[in-house]
Structure formats: structure tokens, C-alpha cells
Amino acid sequence: MDLALTVFDFGAAGFWELVHNVRLSVLTAAAALGAPLVVMTCCYADPGDRAAFQPFLAIVNDASGDILPVFLHCSKDELVRRVSNADRADQGKITSERGLDKFLAQYNIAPIPQPDCLMLG
């Protein structure tokens, strides 16, 4: 996302496409060069992100690798506490409880639908 933020404002037209394409490029390069470990972070919304996640699986599976998903979650109170952190405004992220409520109502933030998804919270 940091790379995309050098080109677009957070969430602007083209922003998420660039983020997705960079992630695909990184996974493809890592697979081709035999990188032993790649750690990626993302906020997965179900079912809207299923199609976007499939290419990640394909790249890793084609390289005989494993995806080990981890779902980090916390209470709504903790999300509200964190949403006002100053660094969020600098990155164009949600900065209010109202914005958070709107986001949570719009997206079903969920674990990646794989049986081995580790849930921490």
C-alpha cells in the first residue's frame, strides 16, 4: 500500500488495483526466485475479496508453496480506540468512529476461507 500511496490518495480510483497488482508481482517474483517466506497483510472482506484472493492461491500453489492465513481481530471498543491514532490521518485512513461504523456496515471483515486459517484475537 505504501507504494500505491506514492501515486494515489488512499482509496482513489486506481489505488486498489495498483495495490493488488503489486501484491501479485511480489508473489510472482518470490515464487520464481524461491523465496522461503513472504509475509503479506491485508484486510479480507467476504465475499467481495474471494475473486481477488484466488490469484494469490494460484501463484503460491504453482510454486508448491503454502499459504498460512492468520486472521487478527479485536473488539469493537479496541477498533474505536485505535481509529483516532494520528498516523491514520497521515495515511488517509478512517479516523472516526462514524467512519469505522460505516466501513464495518459495508464490509464483512472475515478470516480467509481456508480450513487452516489461524484466528488470533
Q: Please count the structural domains in the chain.
A: 1
Query: Which pLDDT band, with edges at 50, 70 and 90, does 22 fall under?
Result: very high
Residue 84 pLDDT: 87
* DSSP percent split of the chain into helix, strand, coil, nearest 5: 50, 5, 45
Q: Where are the alpha helices (DSSP H) in the chain?
A: 2-5, 15-33, 50-62, 76-83, 86-90, 97-106
Cell of 105: 456496515
Residue 42 has pLDDT above 80, yes or no: yes
The whole domain housing 72 covers: 2-120
